[in-house]
Structures are given as structure tokens and as C-alpha cells.
Structure 1
Amino acid sequence: MSIELELAARQAFAPGTLPATPPARTSYDHVVLPGDFPDPTVVKIGDTYWASATSAEWGAIFPIFSSKNLLDWELVGHVFPEKAPDWAGSNFWAPEFYQENGRTYVYYTARRKGGMLCVAVASADHPAGPYVDHGPLVGQEAGSIDGFAMPDEHGDLYLIWKEDGNSCHQDTPIWAQRLNDERTALIGEATELFGNDAKWEGPLVEGSALVRHDGWFYMFYAGNSCCGKGCNYATGVARSRNLLGPWEKHEQNPILDRNATWKCPGHGTVCELDGRWFLLHHAYAAESHEFVGRQGLLSEFTWNAEGWPEFVNRSPQAPALTDMSRFNIADEFEGEQLGLAWQWPLGQVPAATVRHGQLHLAADNSRLGAVVARRTHAATYKAATTIDFASLPVDTYAGLAAVGDPYNALALMAGNGQLHIWHLRSGKHQSLVQVFIEPCDTLSLRLEVWGGQRYRFAYSTDGTTWQPLPTENFSLNGTYLPPWDRGVRVALVAQGETGGVATFNNFVVRNQR
């Protein structure tokens, strides 16, 4: 959607005349990163805003978005588009941009292979990349996460981060330590800023994002449980005249909490547009919750007379998404490569080739197989694909799946003249249904889901008449699919021995509320 420019000039009126109705104030309270985009970050560089978000266990790592107006965002690339840095194995969380002297830095969290969570940094000559990784800056015994770069009152740049004590039933202090001139290593001593000492914060404080306003440093931060059905995340704020403290927490914390539409709002970054202030943060939509995941919301705040930030009704004012057709997908595999919105399980980069309007996906013999997936936007939807059935090699299966992760999925798979419904839960594989199919050139597969829970599969040999797979004797329930920190993806799958290739002609998703 486009933004109407607000009128800045006043109109003079003759005596006795009434002034015209002033133009409506544009609302910026919207879902701007719909789908699973936790821990969003935003920075303005020149006349362009740049955003990213947690990618967790999905590649490509850390999406990069650009915008001129904070409302319309374009996915333009990824920080690590092909593979993870050599030192890191998982948990790619909470990227934060910092720009200085024409160079852009991304401070991010990842887990060292076989080790602890660390805050690391990569840099590029342009916000869109390509990025060069410089490795970890800090990795405490309990883990270090949620790095944020901020200059102090003297202009010296510091890294702010959280010690991940809640992972081992300890407190979670927020630390600060100076960065070197290259911005790629810590120097000097670390200073503890504050910890989780308020009741609403529960076992943790995290997700620090700082801004300086009217001589104060303000730290927006999150507290309590971030994720899943039982989350109770919320946002607080603290302030200090000096970066290293002492810090004062706002008596009205949390300043941003749940409402009937949005649950567990937190972990955001502050930005400004035309003198108005916003927090880009995540929250679960109440209707779809963990099945879609934590979505990126823009929430406006103002500064009160005491200098504290205030949100309307202390909760996100973004309206619920209603026209879900805006997020429908119809991919005919035009061009020469998959679009940037496609994902794959971390460390399992698929051998995927796009040519002549088809996706050719090389099979993998892992539990589920090779996977290319898209984020979901609703908990109720239909998805479909058409495969080249006649050309499938022996013992190669092509399919359509709802995927939480490579260990948890529900899939409709075709191969060896048959259709199977595969149930994959906690890594355990089970074929629930087997149906023989008469020979045909192409075969269409369809997945339907209601509320993220009830699933049904169907197939068509002519693309028009659909045959449901028999599931009378058991219930296809997908409540187990979402991991604790991620939403469900819809995926195309190729499973089998090396050398087999599955060919897909299209991919369609139709959303409903």
C-alpha cells in the first residue's frame, strides 16, 4: 500500500469562513513483515530503510529488506545467501544493522559448532551486501545473544548484549563492552548495565535496542517467555544519561503488551520518520499464533511530558490481517532461479534448477528429503503443485508437505506408481496411507489445513477432478508441527537416492482467515 503525504502548510481563511477539514493522519501501525519474521531490526541509511529478522534454522540466512516509507518492503537479498559461516552451526537469531563511514555492519547471534551461543559480526560496503563474516565477538559460558552496537556519549562504539543465563536457570544481565576501531573485536572490560529484577520480566531480559533522545539513552528491551503457545513476552524501557549507567527502568513497564489481536509483542528496533517514532517488533497474530509464527509489526509511540515513550493502549494497534488473498502464492517457476522468498533447512542447500517453467529438485535420502519451502501467512489455507509423474525415476518421490522442521512434517508423496501420506514426528517416519495410481504424465497434489491443526490431502490426474486420500480411520492433526520458535512452512520435497530428480510445474497457495 502507498502512503499519502501529510500536508505541512496552513491555509489562510477569510473572516467568517470555516477552515477545511484537516487531512487524516496517516497510520503506520501495520503488519509490515507478514509471516515468520521474529526479532526484526531496522535502520535508515541515506533515504532508504533497511530491515532484517531472525532466520533461525532456515536458509538463506537473515533476509534483507529495503523500503522508502517503512510500510512497503522489498526482499532484496540475504546476509548469508548460500551457506552459514564456517564457525557457526545453528540458531541464527537477532541481526542488528549498524552503519558507519559508508560501511554496514550486521551484529548477529549464532551457535558455535559444538559450543555456545555467540554474538558475531559481518560487514559489507552496501547494506544489501555481499557481506564478509568476521566471526564471534563474545561467547560466554551461558551463551551470549542479541548484540546491538551503540555509540556512548563520547562517540565510542559499544556492543550491548544479553548473557543467556536463562538457558541454565540463572539471571540474564545486559552487558556493554567497547568495540575496536575496526568494529570487529571487543576491547577493555565489560560493564553490567542491568538484569531481570522486575516481576513482569520473569526469567529474562533480552533483545536490547537503544536510541538517544533529548540527552537520554533509551533501551527498549523484552522480558519473559518469547515463544510458542504459552508465551507471555512484553516490551519494557529503561533510560540513562550515560551509556554505562546507572539505568532507570520505567515504572509503567511493560509499555507494550498483548491485546485481543496480537500476542507477546517484543524484541524490536526504534526508527524515526518525519519526526514520528516507531518500534519495529514482532508479535503473534491471535488467530494463527504459533502456526504462522512471530510477524513484523510497526507500532508508533510518542514521548510523554516526563520523557518516556508511550504506545496507544500499551499494545500494538496494527489491525488484524483480513484480506489474506494479498499473500497468495502462484509460482510458475519463470526465470532461471528460485525467487528470494524460498527457503530450505539450514545446512541442506538443495540442488534446485529452474528452467523452461519447471523446478528440477535433486532428491536427497534424508528422512524428509530435499526441501524448498515458503513461509505461511495464515493457519487456514490450500496449497497445490503439479509434478511430472511419468518421468519420476524409480525410488524417487516428489511431494507437497507442511514442515515444522526436517524432523516434523506431514507430506503427500508420489513415486513408484503410488501415493503416500507420510507422517514425520520427532524424526520417526510412518506411511499412513498408500494408494496406487494409474499411469499418467502429470499428477497434481493438494494440501488443505484448517486452523493449523486439521489436515487433508487430495490428488488429481487431470488438474480438475480431485480425489481425497482416505483418512477415515485416523486424524491428521498438525498441532505438533511448529517448533518452539518458528512457524510452519509449505514445502516441495524430493526424496530418494542420489541421482534422482523430481520435476515440479507450479506451486500455489490460497490463504483464508
Structure 2
Amino acid sequence: MKLSALHRWSFGVIILLSAWIGMVSQVNAEVLYQNPVIAGDHPDPSVIRVGKEYWATATSSEWGPQFPLLHSTDLVNWNDAGPVFAHRPEWAVGNFWAPEISEYKGKYYVYYVGRQKGGPLAIAVATADKPSGPYTDHGPMVAQEDGSIDPVPVTDEHGERYLVWKEDGNSRHVSTVIWAQKLNADGTRLEGEKKELIRNTSPWEGALVEGPFILRRGDWFYLFYSGSGCCGTGCDYALGVARSHSLLGPWEKNPANPILAGNVTWKCPGHGSIVADERGRYWLLYHGYSTIGSVFTGREALLDEVKFGTNDWPTINNGKGPSARAVSPYEVVQQRTEVSFADDFKGYKLNTGYQWPQDNEPTYKVRSGELILVANPARGTNVVGSVLARSTTAADYVAETVLDLGDLNRGAMAGLSAFGDMANAIGLSAMNGKLVLWRSMRGKTQSLAIMDPPSCSKLYLRYSAKNGAEFQFAASADGKKWIPVGEKLQGSFLPPWDRSVRVALTVGGSPNATAEFNSLRITPQAANLQ
């Protein structure tokens, strides 16, 4: 049956209208990002905007190099631009915490924490002419007997520059205080007397308040801070806010505190900083533990918008805890390139993002297709005389490396490890023509399995991780047919209190141990890529 002209016209209009609706729907579709925006162990993140760029840094704790510098143009895609310090500051011996990046009168500052040699936790500062560095260290500014941590600079209502920080009283089982004190003209020293802003007084804050960040909006100063236990499986961290018309107070704590607490996806959120985009929106970059990855992937960097109500109090995700997904600030698709990792050691320079125990900086060389790792002579007889490691980004993943057996000298022990710290690790190594599965727990190392490797000159080593803490090691001659080595191992003991598990390349066994690695790959399993 033929259609009439009217029917044909109506049918055409319907088709065109449907196509137009589809196009409008596509245009109006919201682009979402997924937390974390920086996967893996990035505690205490701080962030600033410089024109159309964002720069961030985070705690490195007992890992070197100190404090990653992270760069983004959209807040959801970040790349590692190298460290603040390529080598450990001479005055400090550890506890590299809470770096706060800031800009003042065209100069860039990173205020940070370290432990003085033979002394307490101290706050120091480094400066640079560009956010990317290089940074010049100016050493400690304040080191109270109880310890001084979590610095952040702020300008008061009179244009005076102050440093705000926490006195670490909870380390001595006393109240914790957030202090403010004037900075000198170049921002590298304190002047005058310190003034108390707040201390822990509310039940939810527990034994402490810490991680201050101060935002000025209109006539109000807002002091965002965290309370209770930050780290480990028993953490109960959360974030609150106080406000004042004057930097030095009096401060009023929000009756609705904590304004950001854990939920089914993320737990123990807190300790972050806030940046305003070009549209005047406020974004909080902070950390939290995945309820799946937990302490094994560490405190990862999360992003949420901070909104202010008619009562002039801020809210975050309508009080529902950290977002699982939210609208991308710049409507840019999140790539999540940092979740997977592959390195064939091309070129002559180590890629950014590798880490080592901060008191055991390794000797290494990269030449086309090879990473040559040399054991620290003072620790060479240890299973892990030297380490190069990467942060894990998922609870379920596979780590693989290729080890050149031809260049492995007699007595040397080299391989792949699920690594907590120098005293706690599990690994599979080649040594004197054998495969050795080993475990170090609280500083005591034992062999768990010894077997012949497959016949090859290039040995493939692999371990599969499940739930962050269950490991199965294997070896292969070609990277295709894998031979399990030993039984599945539990690694719940691996993560230190404030850190996560790393994938590590290790060499040791003898003072002159040297190993050549041809590649490293870390591949999250499908469930972690959703």
C-alpha cells in the first residue's frame, strides 16, 4: 500500500525529530569522572591552580624521592612531573609528610614535614621560581618538643602572611592544637608569637585535630581540618570545618561536623586542600582508603566539589561521603592512565614515579632496554640490598618483570617482590641457578620454596595479587607458559601503618650484587578498571 504525501511528510518529520533528540541527548550527556583521580598511595594531597594548570603534591613518608609533583589541566587526569626533592634533604631522617604547595607574590613554596636527626618532627620549607621547580630547601622553621606537622600558609584579613600547623600532642597523649604564627617577608621563617586557633574538643575528633587548610570566602575564613585516626585498618578519620571572620579567631566549629565521613565505597577520608577553578567553583583534593583495596592500595587522592549553602556553611557531596562518580569539572573524559603501568626501560633515564626506601637510595643505570640495579654495599648481603618500586593502584593485579640471568653474578639474588618496607616483604628471586621464594616478616627472612628455574637466559617472573594481600608467584621462560612457585601466600602483614604495598624490583645477596631487568609491568584485573 502506498503512503499518501501527508503520511510521507509526517514520517520524515518524526525521523528528523528523533535524530535531533538523540543529538541533543548526546550534547547534554554529563561527562563523569571516577574516584580516585590519582590512583595509588597519595596521602595528604595539596593542590594549587597556576593559570590554566593545576599542580599538586602528596606525602611520600618513608619512600624516596621526596614528594611527587603532579600536573593537570582538568583536575581528573594527572601526570607525574618528578619529585620536589630528587635526594633526601640533609637535615632530615624520615617522616616526610604533608607537603603543602602554594604561591605567594610570584614565588612557589612547599612547606613540609620531616624528622630532624636526633630530634622531633619539624616543619621546613622549599622555594622555587616555577611550580615545577627546581626547589631550594631552606631547612626547618619550627620543631616543638611534641612535634610540628601539617603546615599550611594563609594570608589574614590585614594582608599579613601566616603559617598554620598542628602541634603533634596526640603523640604524647595530650590535646592537639592548631597554631598560627606570622611568616617573615620571604616566607621561610616565623616571627612573633604563635596563637592557638582550635584544639580537639568534639567526640568525633577523638585524640586529635590535624591537616588544616584555610579558605577565605567573602567575609569568612573557613578552617577545614581532619579528626581521629588517619591510618591503618582501624582508622576512623573524617573531615570537619570551622569558621571565623578573623584568622586568629574566635573560631566556630560547624554543628554538622564531620561534613565528610566514610561510606560504602571510601573510608577514612580527610586531609586535603581546596582550589578554585576559573569559574569560581571550589574543589577539595583529599585522600581516602578504598573499601576494596583498603590499606594495600593506600590512601588514594579523591576529588569532590565544595558547595556553600545559604547559611554560609560548606557541604561536600550533600553529606553522603566521597563520590564514587561525579561530573567532570571541565567535561573532560578521565583517562586513568596511571592505573596500569608498563616500562621497557627505553632511553637512558628512569621514568618518574619509581620509589625506594628513603634511607636506602639505590645505584642504578638505564640504557636502551635495560635497568641495571646495584645493591647498596652496606646492605648487599640482605635479600633486598637495593629496591626500585612502584605504587599499587588496585587490589587485584598482576606484576611481571624480565630478569637477565646472564648478567647475574655469583651470590647475587634478584627478583620481584610485593614490598611493604625493608623489614616486611615477599619475593621471588633467582640466585645461583635456583629460584627462591622468600618472605621477610618483622626483619626475619626465610626461604619458603627453592626450585630449578625453566631453562632460559631471560627469566620471566610474575606474581598475581588478590584482595591486595594474597599472592601467587610464578616463573616462565617465555612469558606464556607459567610455572607456579610455592603456595599462595598471605601478605596482610606487609603494609606499614601509613603506607601501602609496592611492586618492587630487588637485588641483594652479596655486597657487589648487580642485576639487569628488561621490563616491568603492573596490570590491574578487569574488575578494577570499571
Aligned-partner residue type, residue 439 of structure 2:
H
Three-state SS of the structure 1 residue aligned to 2:408 is coil
Three-state SS of the structure 2 residue aligned to 1:91 is coil
Identify the range of structure 1 (383-392 vs 169-178) with the bigger mean alpha-carbon deviation: 383-392
Q: CA deviation at 1:305?
A: 0.6
The question of 1:356 aligning with 2:368 is answered yes
Percent identity over the alignment is 48
In the other structure, the counterpart of 2:482 is: 466
Three-state SS of the structure 1 residue aligned to 2:263 is coil
Three-state SS of the structure 1 residue aligned to 2:100 is strand
Aligned-partner residue type, residue 51 of structure 2:
G
The question of 1:145 aligning with 2:149 is answered yes
In the other structure, the counterpart of 2:491 is: 478
Distance 1:485 1:448, change over 3 A: same
Contact 1:367 1:407 in 2 (8 A): no
Q: CA deviation at 1:143?
A: 0.4
In the other structure, the counterpart of 1:503 is: 516
Alpha-carbon separation, structure 2, partners of 1:47 and 1:86: 35
Residue 262 (structure 2) aligned to one of 248, 255, 258? 258
Alpha-carbon separation, structure 2, partners of 1:126 and 1:43: 12
The question of 1:51 aligning with 2:56 is answered yes
Distance 1:155 1:134, change over 3 A: same
Aligned-partner residue type, residue 479 of structure 1:
S
Alpha-carbon separation, structure 2, partners of 1:408 and 1:89: 20
In the other structure, the counterpart of 1:121 is: 125
Residue segments in structure 2 that go unaligned for 5+ positions in a row:
1-20, 327-333
In the other structure, the counterpart of 1:294 is: 299
Three-state SS of the structure 1 residue aligned to 2:96 is strand
Identify the range of structure 1 (281-290 vs 62-71) with the bigger mean alpha-carbon deviation: 62-71
Higher helix share: 2
Listed as ranges, the matches of 1:425-440 within 5 Å are: 425-437=441-453, 440=456
Three-state SS of the structure 2 residue aligned to 1:298 is strand
Alpha-carbon separation, structure 2, partners of 1:452 and 1:140: 38
Residue 312 (structure 2) aligned to one of 292, 307, 312? 307
Deviations 1:402-432 (A, max 9, x none): 0011110000010100111110011111111
In the other structure, the counterpart of 2:10 is: none
In the other structure, the counterpart of 2:100 is: 96
Three-state SS of the structure 2 residue aligned to 1:166 is helix
In the other structure, the counterpart of 1:12 is: none
Contact 2:92 2:114 in 1 (8 A): yes
The question of 1:75 aligning with 2:88 is answered no
Q: CA deviation at 1:361?
A: 0.7
Alpha-carbon separation, structure 2, partners of 1:367 and 1:113: 27
Contact 1:301 1:311 in 2 (8 A): yes
In the other structure, the counterpart of 2:469 is: 453
The question of 1:201 aligning with 2:214 is answered no
Aligned-partner residue type, residue 308 of structure 1:
W
Normalised by the length of structure 2, the TM-score is 0.89
Aligned-partner residue type, residue 414 of structure 1:
A
Aligned-partner residue type, residue 114 of structure 1:
G
Alpha-carbon separation, structure 2, partners of 1:149 and 1:509: 38
Q: CA deviation at 1:368?
A: 1.7
Contact 2:455 2:477 in 1 (8 A): no
Q: CA RMSD in A?
A: 1.9
Residue 229 (structure 2) aligned to one of 205, 225, 230? 225
Contact 1:367 1:406 in 2 (8 A): no
Alpha-carbon separation, structure 1, partners of 2:337 and 2:187: 44
Three-state SS of the structure 2 residue aligned to 1:113 is coil
The question of 1:383 aligning with 2:389 is answered no
Aligned-partner residue type, residue 496 of structure 1:
G
Residue segments in structure 1 that go unaligned for 5+ positions in a row:
1-17
Identify the range of structure 1 (226-235 vs 358-367) with the bigger mean alpha-carbon deviation: 358-367
Normalised by the length of structure 1, the TM-score is 0.92
Runs of 4+ in structure 1 over 6 Å off: 322-326
Alpha-carbon separation, structure 1, partners of 2:144 and 2:229: 21
